[in-house]
Amino acid sequence: MQCDDRGCSHRTRYLSGMAIQKHIVCPRCGNGNLQPEVSEHFIYQQLTFFHRIFDFDRTLQRFHLLSLPDEYQWNLRRNTLKQKYGDLFNRLQRTVQYYLDKSSYNEFDLGFLFRKFRYNTNKSTGGN
């Protein structure tokens, strides 16, 4: 979080201080409000990036396309890597998935998306 007062520009990771009307007052200057430096959308994009990276099978498939033309050697190396690092990658992916599931960017309203395509049946067609 960063103070929005140009004279202060205090940066902190901790939320300590007074909150007034949904704003957190800067503990250093007392005049400005602490604002997030990174947007929620940017954090969501980072989480989706990590989710793709920690997909172990997908990552191994990409490496398979880049190296080891011999199928036997590739299968042997893949099994060794999966034994060593598979649990770690699965745990990391589950952690990222947990936060993606909690994100509001993961949901959207189809009614809002298609509201311009609604057909209004209540229009009167009668004249004078």
pLDDT, tens digit, 9 for 90 and up, residues 58-116: 887 777 655 666 777 777 888 888 899 889 999 999 999 999 888 877 666 777 777 77
Among 59, 42, 56, CA closest to 94: 56
Q: How confident is the model at residue 26 (pLDDT cuts 50, 70, 90)?
A: confident
Query: How far is the C-alpha of 31 from the C-alpha of 24, rounded, in Å?
Result: 10
pTM assigned to the model: 0.58
Question: What percentage of the chain carries pLDDT values higher than 70?
Answer: 77
Q: What pLDDT was estimated at residue 41?
A: 85
pLDDT interval class at 51 (50, 70, 90): very high
List, as own/partner pairs, every contact residues 8-16 make where C-beta atoms lie below 8 angstroms and the sequence separation is at least 24, other chains included: 8/32, 10/34, 11/37
d(CA 30, CA 105): 33
26 DSSP assignment? P
